[in-house]
A = this chain, B = another copy of it.
Amino acid sequence: MAEPTKNSWRFKMHEIIYEADTPSGKLFDVVLLWAIAASVIVVMLESIKSVEVNYGEILRQLEWTFTILFTIEYIMRIICVGKPFRYVFSFMGIVDLLSIAPTYISLFIAGTQSLLVIRTIRLLRIFRIFKIARYLSEAQTLARALKASRPKITVFLGSVVSLVIIAGTFMYLIEGEDSGFTSIPKSVYWAIVTLTTVGYGDIAPQTPLGQMLASIIMIMGYAIIAVPTGIVSVELSNAQNKPELVTTQACPECSKEGHDENAVFCKFCGAKL
């Protein structure tokens, strides 16, 4: 498909759909955002029995309205983008497809499949929430900080997992089945509930020794939470202090370094980089 020339209808559509600096582009974005939110709410409401019984028909009609709207959006995006295949197989392209496919599929398989399969497919529509990712442009700094923290966070998660496995095994030995610690996996589940300070209370230690070990785990969990927080704080601070990425590229003329990422000419001697 040829690159859309200026003033052509495809170029105009591209501007409306992919950019937000024209009034019609902004309107498109706002309408779409509301449609995404509304369609997610419809999926959620459908799962409430009393709502389904009373307003099922309206919800199904709304569902089809949103599906058709998102289908038009999907087709338009394919038509007016420069490289359609790249879009279709990109993360956003798959999300856009996933947000319309379940409604069509449920149309064909109804009656021939078990209820669970239908319900699962229909609930896949909840992935529409990811369509919102397109509008979270501010997420970049956060993403960069999290990416830079990844090795440290992996170590942190590895330590937490080791800790809860050891703690769970000890609690299984100390408390036993009478207190609800029926197996190691269940004890590990309890250790996670405790260490992360969630604390449901469905399983709780009954013996003094178990409560003592639980206290130690809690205070450790209380102190451990400081670690990921510290990591992300430091990375965010670094990510913000270096808002412009400086490349390691050296000027071919004067060999000076420190050029910005978007620099085309050397800022010291003016030679093309």
Contacts and interface: CB of A to CB of B under 8 A. Distances in A.
Contacts of A130: 162
Contacts of A218: 192-193, 196, 198
Interface string A224-250: 011111111111111010000000000
Contacts of A231: 142, 226, 236
- Copies of this chain present in the complex amount to 4
Contacts of A222: 160, 195-197, 225, 228
A168 to B, nearest CB: 8
A182 interface: yes
Interface stretch (A5-13, A118-126, A259-267): A118-126
Given A186-B211, A223-B228, 16 more contacts: A43-B169, A123-B184, A126-B169, A132-B162, A136-B158, A160-B219, A196-B218, A198-B218, A202-B204, A222-B225, A226-B229, A229-B229, A229-B230, A231-B236, A233-B233, A237-B237
Interface of A is mostly: helix
A171 to B, nearest CB: 11
Nearest to A188: B44
A138 B166 contact: no
A48 interface: yes
Nearest to A45: B185
A200 B197 contact: no
Interface of A: 40, 43-45, 47-49, 119-120, 123, 126-127, 129-130, 132-133, 136, 138-139, 141-142, 145-146, 151-160, 162, 165-166, 169, 172-173, 182-186, 188-189, 192-202, 204, 208, 211-212, 214-215, 218-219, 221-223, 225-238, 240
A138 B151 contact: yes
A14 to B, nearest CB: 26
25 contacts: A40-B165, A43-B169, A43-B184, A44-B183, A44-B184, A45-B185, A48-B183, A48-B185, A126-B165, A126-B166, A129-B166, A136-B155, A136-B158, A138-B154, A139-B159, A142-B231, A153-B223, A188-B215, A189-B212, A196-B219, A198-B221, A226-B231, A229-B232, A230-B236, A230-B237
Nearest to A194: B198
Contacts of A145: 230
